[in-house]
Amino acid sequence: MNIKQQFKEGLVTNNPVLVQLLGMCSTMAITTSLFNGVGMGLSVIIILTCCNVVVSLCRKFIPSEIRLAIFVVLIAGFVTIVDLLLKAFVPALSDALGVFIPLIVVNCIVIGRAEAFAAKNSVGASFVDGIAQGLGYTLVLMAMCIIREFLGSGTFGGGLLNGATSFLTLDGSGTGFQIFNGEAYGCLFMILPLGGFLTLGCLIALMQYVLRRSAEKKELKEKEGAE
């Protein structure tokens, strides 16, 4: 399997959230500002890639009866590492995401990729798969954040951009760019849980529409070619 195809699958045709429907809890819960989305996405990319590589390295030694238990322990180890690193170096992110960083342990994307891909493929391919699937997850998170933040409070890049001291900040102090007056005209419910359900539902519907259209087009082309 080549790298280009893997990235295409991870980002579009086999996107972990929009097509495989995995890891939806965190997708809906933390996407209220761009800062959270990017931070969560990067953490998952790191954990997913590390897990994929280690699982792929050990795939010949792991007995298949207890493989799930071993995967969970491995994932829990990497999650703890990332959790402690975030607490030490980016405490603002750790505070904002709260319980959802340790909850990556039960995020279906990580264990799903370990079981479905890394346990059967070479180390190199698993490494690329981790990055591609993680990027797909991050992209969806960022899209959700941008939509919800814009409609809910009228800003772009909250927490991440336009900080007190510099353009890009990691201490969560950035106020983002005000695009319209969110207090007067924003729909507050987009920031609340309701907005999470609605935005994700519409994004998945959009994805289904696009995939169906492209499949129909392909069929039409094949028909024309046959004639």
Do the beta carbons of residue 158 and residue 174 sit within 8 Å? Answer: yes
Is position 177 an interface residue for other proteins (rule: CB under 8 A)? no
- What is the nearest approach in angstroms of other proteins to the Cβ of residue 33? 16
Q: Using H for helix, E for strand and C for coil, what is the string for 142-194?
A: HHHHHHHHHHHHCEECCECECCCCCCECCCCCECCEECCCHHHHCCHHHCCHH
Cβ proximity to other proteins, 202 vs 220, nearer residue = 202
Q: What counts of helices (H) and strands (E) characterise the chain?
A: 9, 2
Is position 46 an interface residue for other proteins (rule: CB under 8 A)? no
Is position 99 an interface residue for other proteins (rule: CB under 8 A)? yes
Distance CA 216, CA 222 (A): 10
Is position 72 an interface residue for other proteins (rule: CB under 8 A)? yes
Is position 83 an interface residue for other proteins (rule: CB under 8 A)? yes
Nearest one of 188, 182, 164 to 174, comparing CA atoms: 164
Distance of CA 12 to the CA centre of its chain: 13
Beta carbons within 8 Å of 131's beta carbon, 6+ residues apart? 10, 45, 49
Is position 73 an interface residue for other proteins (rule: CB under 8 A)? yes
- What is the nearest approach in angstroms of other proteins to the Cβ of residue 62? 16
Cβ proximity to other proteins, 20 vs 175, nearer residue = 20
Query: Which residues face 168 on adjacent strands?
Result: 161
Is position 120 an interface residue for other proteins (rule: CB under 8 A)? no
Is position 53 an interface residue for other proteins (rule: CB under 8 A)? no
Is position 62 an interface residue for other proteins (rule: CB under 8 A)? no
Sole binder of other proteins in the list 45, 55, 97, 105 (CB under 8 A)? 105
Is position 130 an interface residue for other proteins (rule: CB under 8 A)? no
3-state secondary structure of 6: helix
Q: Which positions touch other proteins (CB under 8 A)?
A: 21, 24-26, 28-29, 69, 72-73, 76-77, 79-80, 83-84, 98-99, 102-103, 105-108, 111, 189, 192-198, 200-202, 204-206, 208-209, 212
